[in-house]
Structure 1
Amino acid sequence: MSSARATLRVELHTSALSGMPLRPKNLVSALVHHSQDEGEEARDLATEEDFRNALSLAHSTDQLVELWRRHLIHWDYEKSPSWTATAPRTDERRTDILASLGLSAETAAALTSLVPVPPSGGPVVISGTFVPWYTPHSRQGRSWYWPAYRRLLSEKGWSDGAVTELDVATDQVVERLADPTSETAYQSKGLVVGYVQSGKTANFTGVIAKSVDAGYRLVIVLGGTLNLLREQTQRRLDMELVGRENILRGAPEYESDYADDPAWVQGKFLSHGNFPSALGGFDIVRMTTADNDYKSLLQGIVALEFEKQEPTLPLYTPKNLHRSSARLMVVKKNKTVLSKLVKDLNKIKTPLGEIPVLIIDDEADEASVNTANPNKPDVERTAINDKISELLRLLPRAQYVGYTATPFANVFIDPADAQDIFPKDFIVSLPRPEGYMGVEDFHDLDSPVAPSERTLTNSNEKAHVRDIKLVSDEDDTVLRNALDMFVLTAAMKLYREANGLGDRYFQHHTMLIHESVRTKDQRELRSKVHKLWWSAGYTGPSGHDRLRVLFDTDVAPVSRLRSEGQAVPDSYDELAPYVGAAAIRIGGDDQPVIVVNGDRDIENGEADFAKRSLWKILIGGQKLSRGFTIEGLTVSYYRRRAGNASTLMQMGRWFGFREGYRDLVRLYLGRGESMGSKEVDLYDAFESLCRDEESFREQLKQYATLVDGEPQITPADMPPLVSQHLSWLKPTSANKMYNARVVELGRPGKWEEPTWYPSETRQLRHNTELWLPIMESLSVETQEFAYFGEGEQSTHHRFNALTGILPATEFLAVLESLKWDASGRFEPHLTYVKEITRALPTKVDDWLVLAPQHASQGRRAGIGDLPRLLSWFARERRRGEALGAIRDPKHRAPALRIAGSLPYGGNDTTEHYVSDRRGVVVLYPVVLPDDRPHVEATQKVDPGKLVMAFAFVAPASAHTSDGKIVRFVVNTPPKDGPR
């Protein structure tokens, strides 16, 4: 009776909410209206008291809560509704919603506790227009797998906020796919950009769950290029989405392909209670298993046949679609495997044009992208790309969604190639998840703290990064130190298990050593690590002496500041009893090292985190360079080089979630590694690619804002957003890149830093002479500028500078006369400055010129005929003619404050210059390395050898006339075929 009453309540609320497609309205009035013809029991449920009582007993995954969640989040996210002036995803917006519903404070609180306000930093979406079909008011199909997945995540310990964030992000993807029941076939293509090892699998699992609920009936997951990755993805989907009943299909437990999996035995695989089809849902039929990729077999062909309730109607009609089972396969990106799938699809009786298909491409920038040179005549696609294109041709209702943390190769695909996988319909950038450790957690990006003042408290580098600087190839000092750290952090985990973690424990504890892809090198490295391990003496005096020093000088100082409440021993003596146990867990089976690559004769142990607890040292080959999750990774020893940012970032296996041991994570990273004839700094390389990535994400965020209800840009306009900070570290491999041209780039209130200065003496002299009158007019005395942000020390943003006010027209005249390198990359900035200067009414009145001066008397020189010495800056060219980073981080905050981008900063000098239509120009006279000895000796600099670099911040209010931030011209010539 209670179950029937709950069902009736859901039906009543569904009807009431269906009458609110545009705005929330009084709930009780709607409930009463829709209950009139439904009988006495329905009228009893048409009260706020009944709703409140139901909420007090409800779980966050109950059907009633799911119904309300869809509607509340829809209203929370609405961009500019007519019924409220509040900002999306805020407490104020939710208050307005609940008030419009006429709910009491008690009911409103109960509802919000079950459906929290979505986090403000949601996904960023670049999208073309699309036909809304996946809305709270028009959801079709049977909501079965998404509620089950949501419930499982809650049971795993995901917070309500984290699950809501996933709910919102997956909605952003699914709503941009085609309606699976539409009579007209449409093929959408999109890209989801996450962070390395940050939960992308959770996102596409949610997308699959919602898509099959909505009616997609064939799901093809391209699970990487290696068996290891495919198997890892298959297991994850089977455990969290498919469920025990769909796996067994009536067979006994011991026949399951997971019979020897501890998680299966412990009941951690999702259970539906019965076949979903027997409970009002629909089944998922697996076409691949944990051990078997797709195979071309008779039973496989039969299994691909889709049953129809109404044989005369197409499969995609609701009468057939929602009564049919879904098919799921996880296949390797392998030409042979994909060829078998294509062959079998051509054999089935179900017309392929009737099947709504979802293709999920994990690690979409690897193997999937066509790397054949399009400029060569009659060029053929590369193998995997050709097979994916063939699938898309065969399946007109197929939707393609790529997932990657390194999207540059995908946005460089030719958008005019209709047969390729360019994400023409949408790009979704996922937010950085709570608790995630990424590149910025190991670097001090734009830290205002001077390097000399950085400590374990304010520097991520000092806390987590240790340099690898070797005297020779035979020098094992740093590697031994890393092994000691691995044992010491293992002991710390055991100590924490015994002191405060309760029933929780660290199932895995791993170290990664990544030096080379060559199996010969890995064989030698394994031998070296074995020798170091067995000579370490971890249970004897020599081992304890080393660990004591390491604990006192490294582990204890960091953990006491960054342990986030986790237990930290007062002394090494308190930790020492756990060291022996840690060493035994790692090497007690005489196998402390596992080599993970394709050379089977040296794979002395399988790195299967699903089937056993692993406390091991992993030596990495190709298998560990992309996609594979190394559970419990705490210490990384990394020396391997890569030639582009995508490959290097994917090698960063130390990124991920480190709950309970963030303070113990250590990265030993190569400094001064040889690359051809050059030496490179891997720490700088990771920092530069982080800047490239964050710049890409930041621009996506800005361009996602609609103008007059229309998107500023579409995915086809993405390539110019990709930057490159190091000359040798390209965004992706050269055979995945093409070019496009930005014609205007204007970012009000943002620090802009041109770097494309010429190298020819005559042009350098010309530029310097343009700036000389401005430098001559600067103030005689310096002024001290500062910005005291919340919780920051006063020294963080303090500097002295000469000042001057430059009218807007004069600054524009200088910019129009400057010489640049041949790339034309400053033109988009110049176009923007022209527009805001010549606009009516004007968007900028003047520019404050700041010429920062060093605190010491060093690095000062006379420039041309200037009668006084000015500070110069030591920088170098790092990308052809372009300079590397020019800015000094402490200069940014005062400049941003003056331009209106930051709130009050507490410094009288800075505040004096703040004005609504004022920009800031920061001058950096740059002396290059070859000229420094002469300048330092003579205190004179030849104008023809000075790079007059500068940065500028336009007024935060200086938006362009149409509100757009960027305008593009894509140089790719049009091709035949639909877009």
Structure 2
Amino acid sequence: MTDQITDPLVEVHAAALAGMKRGPKNLARSVAFYREDMAPDADLSEEEFREALPAYHQDDALLRLWRVQLTEWDFTKSAQWTDTEPRTRERRNFVHELLGLAPETREALDTLVPVSILNDEVVISRETPTLWDASSRGGHRWYWEKYKNYLAEQKRWEADSVASLESAAESVVERLADPTQELPYQSRGLVVGYVQSGKTANFTGVIAKALDGGYRLVIVLGGSINLLRAQTQRRIDKELVGRENLLRSVQSEIDSDYATESDWLEGKFLRHGGSPSELGAFDIIRLTTKEDDYKALQAGIDALEIDKKDRNSPLYHPSNLYASNARLMVVKKNNDVLKKLVSDLKRVNRPLLQQLPVLIIDDESDEASVNTTDLKKPNTKRTAINSWISELLRILPRAQYVGYTATPFANVFVDPGDTADIFPSDFIIALDRPHGYMGARDFHDFDLDPDEERAWSNSHELCHVRDIRNLDEDGEGDEDELRAAIDMFVLTAAVKLYREDKGGLGHGYYRHHTMLVHESRLNADHRALHARIRRLWLTSQYLGEQGNNRLKKLFEDDLRPVSAERADGFPVPGSFEELAPYIGTAWQNIGADDRPVIVINGDKENEYRDADFDGTRIWKMLIGGQKLSRGFTVEGLTVSYYRRRASNASTLMQMGRWFGFRKGYRDLVRLYIGRTEESRGQEVDLYKAFEAICQDEEDFRQQLKKYSVMVGQKPQITPAQIPPLVFQRLPWLKPTSRNKMYNTRLVSQGTPGRLEDPTAYPVTAGKLRHNTTQWLPVIRSLSPGTTTFTHPHNGRLVQVDALTTIIEPKDFLEIVRSLKWQGDRFESHLQYLDEVTEAGDQLDDWLVVAPQHRTNVRRARLAEADRTLSWFSRVRRRDPLFGAIGEPKHRPIARRIASGETTGHEDPVTESLVRPRRGVVILYPVVEQAKVDETIVDGMFDTGRLVTAFDFATPLTARGSGDALVRFTTIDSSQGDDAMVDAGANAVRD
């Protein structure tokens, strides 16, 4: 193919496709029309086009043209030129028909530009939503088109990724109120992405489309720390606001926020080609900058005042709206900042304020924005940030609120009946996993059979995850494991340099190369860890024989076999000797300035200078906690060393900074993560914890997808019915922080194999007597003599004498159903026991164990059962709740039988009672310590004082209705104290 043919081919096809904005037309006729003026001597037949296609690289102009146009036609939802479904083979075939292409040309195009397989975003919406088309308003799509082209041309996004982003942005904007409608309406929604998955790109697209549609004030709540706010401001400035808008308020370029940045100097900021207002659109006026958060306006309120072109019409009338410039601010979720903003807004002309269409974007909306105080209690107020957001919504009647998060549980636990709060009452949109994203599924083997052999080719865990198992006497990670992580950081740095050189990527392709070390949130720990890593770096001898030998072994045992399978076409050194020349440069890039490791936390005055990925090339090891664990993107992250525990799933998931886009180095990514450790008396495996919460998230998304399908033109569930879909596999790890769950109710709590210790027993004589009566048949059936169990306890063997009996699952369920409790604290267990009993194949029977003292001390007769039993003294330490019921020396019996846990001593008696689907109940006649004389009278129990208590453990087979062991719901204050259970009960059982 010659250049004489190639250039005209691109030029004419560009013109032909540009003329098909209303839909595909016959290509041969279009090409002939433009060829006459542009390339009359060129042979631009379809055959020449088809033969030229294989010669083009994916990034060449001709293929980019066709990839963008075919993808746009594939994705178009409401095309006037077809009634075929978007993103289907049928749609693509219809496009080919309209283009009039030969079968051979169709095949060639489909091979190079396959039909997109990305899924639509999942939408849960209120009933009968009113949708509007933002793209048809104002006579232009200025900011969206500029942003879309920037993503495709500057950031080299794939066409289907751009089209998918447009589809998702449209799904949000069409659910906002039409800014030109007469009656004000506030829409509130939530967009759920993945951690580090491009949520900023999505809400930037939403802002672009909303501005084009008529919104004239955009408030972005850019996280709760300066780092995140500044990063968000810069992204929007660079990719949407654009160079001309940034310069409109300064005297010259040297006064720009970004005048010294390489991206600004190299022309990487979006350009409009002139002032948008002079080119038929409108300008964006910034009220915040990269360095400066919102400040009380020095010149009064002029910056927030919007002039009306037609003074006889309201601001929201198209004649005024589309002629007005827009205002944009990115503000931190900070009490003082929001107070200044609200104060200034209140000073704006009130009628104007009531007519102003406003879009509020809340980034990381589960952080700080959610109210954490129970307003149903007397003398309580909203938490500060939530209060200011509520006030913004109150004084801006045309404000639309859209929250963005990757961890949505705190948001859906908001009280739906609190109309002043941020519950997403109008819509919840779950974004699809984006193209090129490296997320939970890339670090866990969810799709592999447990018995399938792991290999580099099929196991994500084997390729990317390395264990931290050894701890020193202070509980810190073993230095050999930390050094191995640092070695991998240096080794992968060398591979990146090798790829720039050998792969034709060019110097600087890998602008950033980072390693994140996260062990604690405490600044003092960060300082100690900094000293430790620095010492390891200085003694690593990377340019000497010892370091060279370590790197060579790591390359041969780890990096080369993984990259051989997963390099995705990027060059891989054939031997360590081939890579060795790049190690010195890698070492120099990281540590030549004597700062190989830097700490990013609140200790420093200018905390984001060391993490300014936009303005500086960073090849460093980073130590951090909260500053680097929520929202903020750590660019170039290749090696993570992670040991920090968390008390809830949302916090833990947000710490997964290793999720993200890793183009060109996916195979090099390594996660060093803590495995089994002791925490509060239980073993914690951080990798397994991540696996569990990632699966919980997948389940949540699958449920959303299932219930997003309309039935009879009506939604199956509305956003207010989402909370019952929240469930989890790990009972010890709550979905979100405790203070964000004050409005939730535990629906079901299953703990197979684990001994549960209920403590909420009643206090009145009638209820206590009732409970004992329910247990009488079981007590009567207890064995006449005791059985002796032998188990290790506190370093020695102990013997436990107990009466025993076996009861049927339905008999036990009938007993616990009929028991009286203090409040509803047993309801969640009861729901679970009901599920495992009704399942029929998860639980065969219950072994009841009634421990007995070896002497006659603390024994009494239960006349109603004609039995003498040992009793146990307990105190209601959390009155009216007991502190605990069960005794530690009894627990090994239940753990061995229910969970199969070995005790280090094989007791023949216990082994004879082990069954695969057997649960255990330990029965405790409890006498309150302060009421012994009232409860034991003449050696007899008074059942009006006796607390018939028990512990229980279901077998490991008892999973209930699925893998989710714990499920929550939310209380809707508009419905009294009723929890929204009905919809959820169906949702979790189907």
Classify the TM-score, shorter chain.
0.7 to 0.9
Q: Is the CA contact 1:594–1:605 (under 8 Å) kept in the aligned structure 2?
A: no
For residue 697 of structure 1, report the CA deviation from its aligned partner.
Answer: 0.7
Q: Is the CA contact 1:507–1:613 (under 8 Å) kept in the aligned structure 2?
A: yes
1:254-333 → structure 2 map (5 Å cutoff): 254-299=254-299, 301-333=301-333
| Secondary structure of the corresponding residue to residue 191 of structure 2 | strand
Provide the residue aligned with 1:637 in structure 2.
641
Distance (Å, rounded) in 2 between the aligned partners of 1:313 and 1:66:
40
Provide the residue aligned with 1:959 in structure 2.
none
Distance (Å, rounded) in 2 between the aligned partners of 1:971 and 1:266:
54
For residue 454 of structure 1, report the CA deviation from its aligned partner.
Answer: 2.0
| Secondary structure of the corresponding residue to residue 446 of structure 2 | coil
Distance (Å, rounded) in 1 between the aligned partners of 2:669 and 2:425:
39
The match for 1:517 among 509, 516, 521 is 521
Q: Is the CA contact 2:360–2:399 (under 8 Å) kept in the aligned structure 1?
A: yes
In structure 2, do the counterparts of structure 1 residues 318 and 726 end up closer, same or farther at CA, with 3 Å as the change threshold?
A: same
The amino acid across from 1:448 in the alignment is: D
For residue 546 of structure 1, report the CA deviation from its aligned partner.
Answer: 1.3
Distance (Å, rounded) in 1 between the aligned partners of 2:108 and 2:311:
47
In structure 2, do the counterparts of structure 1 residues 61 and 142 end up closer, same or farther at CA, with 3 Å as the change threshold?
A: farther
Provide the residue aligned with 2:366 in structure 1.
365
Count of paired positions: 797
In structure 2, do the counterparts of structure 1 residues 435 and 12 end up closer, same or farther at CA, with 3 Å as the change threshold?
A: closer
The match for 2:482 among 461, 467, 479 is 479
**Structure 2 portions without partners, runs of 5+:** 1-12, 30-44, 54-59, 759-771, 779-807, 818-824, 849-883, 886-896, 921-952, 977-990
In structure 2, do the counterparts of structure 1 residues 602 and 951 end up closer, same or farther at CA, with 3 Å as the change threshold?
A: same
1:584 correspondence with 2:588: yes
Q: Is the CA contact 1:720–1:742 (under 8 Å) kept in the aligned structure 2?
A: no
Provide the residue aligned with 2:762 in structure 1.
none
Provide the residue aligned with 1:691 in structure 2.
695
Q: Is the CA contact 1:595–1:604 (under 8 Å) kept in the aligned structure 2?
A: no
Distance (Å, rounded) in 2 between the aligned partners of 1:822 and 1:207:
45
1:495 correspondence with 2:498: yes
Q: Is the CA contact 1:218–1:356 (under 8 Å) kept in the aligned structure 2?
A: yes
Distance (Å, rounded) in 2 between the aligned partners of 1:114 and 1:213:
33
In structure 2, do the counterparts of structure 1 residues 709 and 953 end up closer, same or farther at CA, with 3 Å as the change threshold?
A: farther
Provide the residue aligned with 1:419 in structure 2.
420
Provide the residue aligned with 2:356 in structure 1.
355
The amino acid across from 2:522 in the alignment is: R
Q: Is the CA contact 2:134–2:173 (under 8 Å) kept in the aligned structure 1?
A: no
Q: Is the CA contact 2:723–2:969 (under 8 Å) kept in the aligned structure 1?
A: no
Provide the residue aligned with 2:557 in structure 1.
553
The amino acid across from 2:403 in the alignment is: G
Q: Is the CA contact 1:142–1:213 (under 8 Å) kept in the aligned structure 2?
A: yes
Q: Which sits farther off after the overlay, 543-552 or 271-280?
A: 543-552
1:173 correspondence with 2:146: no
For residue 602 of structure 1, report the CA deviation from its aligned partner.
Answer: 11
* 1:947-977 deviation digits (Å, cap 9, x = unpaired): 456579999xxxxxxxxxxx9996423179x
Q: Is the CA contact 2:746–2:828 (under 8 Å) kept in the aligned structure 1?
A: no
The amino acid across from 1:499 in the alignment is: K
In structure 2, do the counterparts of structure 1 residues 104 and 136 end up closer, same or farther at CA, with 3 Å as the change threshold?
A: farther
Distance (Å, rounded) in 1 between the aligned partners of 2:364 and 2:506:
35
Distance (Å, rounded) in 2 between the aligned partners of 1:370 and 1:649:
21
Provide the residue aligned with 2:144 in structure 1.
146
Distance (Å, rounded) in 2 between the aligned partners of 1:679 and 1:828:
24
| Secondary structure of the corresponding residue to residue 298 of structure 1 | coil
Distance (Å, rounded) in 2 between the aligned partners of 1:73 and 1:163:
12
Distance (Å, rounded) in 2 between the aligned partners of 1:188 and 1:742:
29
In structure 2, do the counterparts of structure 1 residues 66 and 765 end up closer, same or farther at CA, with 3 Å as the change threshold?
A: farther
In structure 2, do the counterparts of structure 1 residues 110 and 290 end up closer, same or farther at CA, with 3 Å as the change threshold?
A: farther
| Secondary structure of the corresponding residue to residue 74 of structure 1 | coil
Distance (Å, rounded) in 2 between the aligned partners of 1:534 and 1:58:
49
1:666 correspondence with 2:673: no
Provide the residue aligned with 1:540 in structure 2.
544
* 1:864-912 deviation digits (Å, cap 9, x = unpaired): 9xxxxxxxxxxxxxxx99xxxxxxxxxxxxxxxxxxxxxxxxxxxxxxx
For residue 75 of structure 1, report the CA deviation from its aligned partner.
Answer: 4.0
The amino acid across from 1:319 in the alignment is: S
In structure 2, do the counterparts of structure 1 residues 72 and 483 end up closer, same or farther at CA, with 3 Å as the change threshold?
A: closer
Distance (Å, rounded) in 1 between the aligned partners of 2:836 and 2:243:
59
Q: Which sits farther off after the overlay, 292-301 or 258-267?
A: 292-301
Distance (Å, rounded) in 2 between the aligned partners of 1:109 and 1:592:
52
Q: Is the CA contact 1:245–1:271 (under 8 Å) kept in the aligned structure 2?
A: yes
Provide the residue aligned with 1:895 in structure 2.
none
Distance (Å, rounded) in 2 between the aligned partners of 1:497 and 1:67:
32
Q: Which sits farther off after the overlay, 605-614 or 474-483?
A: 474-483
TM-score with structure 2 length normalisation? Answer: 0.72
Distance (Å, rounded) in 2 between the aligned partners of 1:390 and 1:503:
52
Distance (Å, rounded) in 2 between the aligned partners of 1:637 and 1:262:
31
In structure 2, do the counterparts of structure 1 residues 524 and 630 end up closer, same or farther at CA, with 3 Å as the change threshold?
A: same
| Secondary structure of the corresponding residue to residue 224 of structure 2 | coil
Provide the residue aligned with 2:456 in structure 1.
456
Q: Which sits farther off after the overlay, 473-482 or 308-317?
A: 473-482
In structure 2, do the counterparts of structure 1 residues 828 and 173 end up closer, same or farther at CA, with 3 Å as the change threshold?
A: farther
**Once superposed, what is the RMSD of the aligned Cα atoms?**
4.7
Provide the residue aligned with 1:224 in structure 2.
223
For residue 739 of structure 1, report the CA deviation from its aligned partner.
Answer: 5.9
The amino acid across from 2:287 in the alignment is: M
TM-score with structure 1 length normalisation? Answer: 0.73
In structure 2, do the counterparts of structure 1 residues 711 and 764 end up closer, same or farther at CA, with 3 Å as the change threshold?
A: farther
* 1:463-507 deviation digits (Å, cap 9, x = unpaired): 111111223337422111111111111111111111114336211
**Structure 1 portions without partners, runs of 5+:** 1-5, 18-25, 32-48, 745-751, 768-810, 835-846, 853-860, 865-879, 882-923, 956-966
The match for 1:95 among 76, 81, 93 is 93
* 1:802-861 deviation digits (Å, cap 9, x = unpaired): xxxxxxxxx999999897894357869989999xxxxxxxxxxxx997999xxxxxxxx9
Provide the residue aligned with 2:623 in structure 1.
619
Q: Is the CA contact 1:276–1:283 (under 8 Å) kept in the aligned structure 2?
A: yes
Provide the residue aligned with 1:527 in structure 2.
531
The amino acid across from 1:397 in the alignment is: R
The amino acid across from 2:243 in the alignment is: R
In structure 2, do the counterparts of structure 1 residues 93 and 62 end up closer, same or farther at CA, with 3 Å as the change threshold?
A: closer
Greater gyration radius: 2
Provide the residue aligned with 2:156 in structure 1.
157
For residue 94 of structure 1, report the CA deviation from its aligned partner.
Answer: 4.4
Q: Which sits farther off after the overlay, 473-482 or 111-120?
A: 111-120
1:917-956 → structure 2 map (5 Å cutoff): 927=900, 933-934=906-907, 938-941=911-914, 945=920, 947=954
Provide the residue aligned with 2:707 in structure 1.
703
Distance (Å, rounded) in 1 between the aligned partners of 2:62 and 2:575:
45
Provide the residue aligned with 2:661 in structure 1.
657
For residue 225 of structure 1, report the CA deviation from its aligned partner.
Answer: 0.9
Provide the residue aligned with 1:887 in structure 2.
none
Q: Is the CA contact 1:69–1:115 (under 8 Å) kept in the aligned structure 2?
A: no
Provide the residue aligned with 1:403 in structure 2.
404
Q: Is the CA contact 1:513–1:637 (under 8 Å) kept in the aligned structure 2?
A: yes
Distance (Å, rounded) in 1 between the aligned partners of 2:751 and 2:600:
43
